[in-house]
Chain A
Amino acid sequence: MDNAICMEYVVPGDDFTRAGEASANMKQSLKRLGVPAAAVRRAAIALYEGEINLAIHAGGGRIRVEVTPDTIAMHLEDDGPGIADIPLAMSEGYTTAPAEVRSLGFGAGMGLPNMKKYTDTFEIQSTVGVGTTIDMSVSIA
């Protein structure tokens, strides 16, 4: 990991309109690094979903991205309420998002399934009352 490039972001929890800034920044950075477009798009979509989740569910959180010649590794962590039933949360269409969030175009229960779908590795750990961490990566072909 000697030649890894790292990017760190703080996602605010009180401003939904700003969610996506970190993902957009990462996307631009990956493009500038010459990462192939397909890998850039998959990583950007997955991180964007994660960022939306941090803003909606967790009161904000922290993101760390490490880019090596082979991999885009993304680490997300928060001090939110945690997830009691991860398999249920991972199923398409299950959501705990309030109606207000759905009126903004999100909260359809596709966030976590999408993150898994667009990445090559995906691990989630959560403790109720403590928070949630997600580690996911996209291989650069």
Chain B
Amino acid sequence: MTIQQMQEILGARLLTPAADLSQEVHTACGSDMMSDVLAYVKDQAVLLTGLNNPQVVRTADMMDMVCIVFVRGKMPGDEVLGLAESRDIAVLSTDLPMFAACGLLYQHGLRGGEWHG
């Protein structure tokens, strides 16, 4: 699916207006623990998280992810958004909680992808 389709499915706000919403994404992960993302993620393109600080963008950047979805209505500040824009990472914010957001995306075809054991 595209990032735009993800936005529609989640009823999410787009917080980085310049982002390319036509990018195709196939895999995602959901975590509030960036250590785990760094340890186990392999090729996931999307990070769903309830954590709201600049290290979320740093982590997504290190993993070559293209989109961050903040769940539970979290609204990142200008510092976080500026960092994301400088890395060409699209940022969405949805009011849905983590489980529901992940479930909806999975239902529409997004998958977990491969993980480092």
Contact = CB atoms under 8 A, between A and B. Distances in A.
B58 A106 contact: no
A48 B64 CA distance: 13
A107 interface: yes
Given A17-B54, A17-B79, A20-B54, A107 B35 contact: yes
Interface stretch (A4-12, A37-45, A61-69, A72-80): A37-45
Given A17-B54, A48-B58, A110 B38 contact: yes
Interface SS, B side: helix
Interface string B65-90: 00000000000000100000001000
Contacts of A19: 55, 58
Interface SS, A side: helix
Interface residues of B, number: 22
Interface in A57-107: 104-107
B35 A108 contact: yes
B35 A23 contact: no
Interface in B13-49: 32-36, 38-39, 49
Nearest to B51: A105
B117 to A, nearest CB: 10
A24 B55 CA distance: 11
Interface of B: 32-36, 38-39, 49, 51, 53-56, 58-59, 61-64, 79, 87, 116
Given A19-B55, A108-B35, A114-B39, 6 more contacts: A19-B58, A20-B55, A45-B63, A48-B58, A105-B59, A106-B55
24 contacts: A17-B53, A17-B54, A20-B58, A23-B58, A24-B58, A24-B61, A24-B62, A27-B61, A37-B64, A104-B53, A105-B55, A105-B56, A106-B33, A106-B34, A108-B36, A109-B35, A110-B36, A110-B39, A111-B35, A113-B39, A114-B35, A114-B39, A117-B39, A117-B116
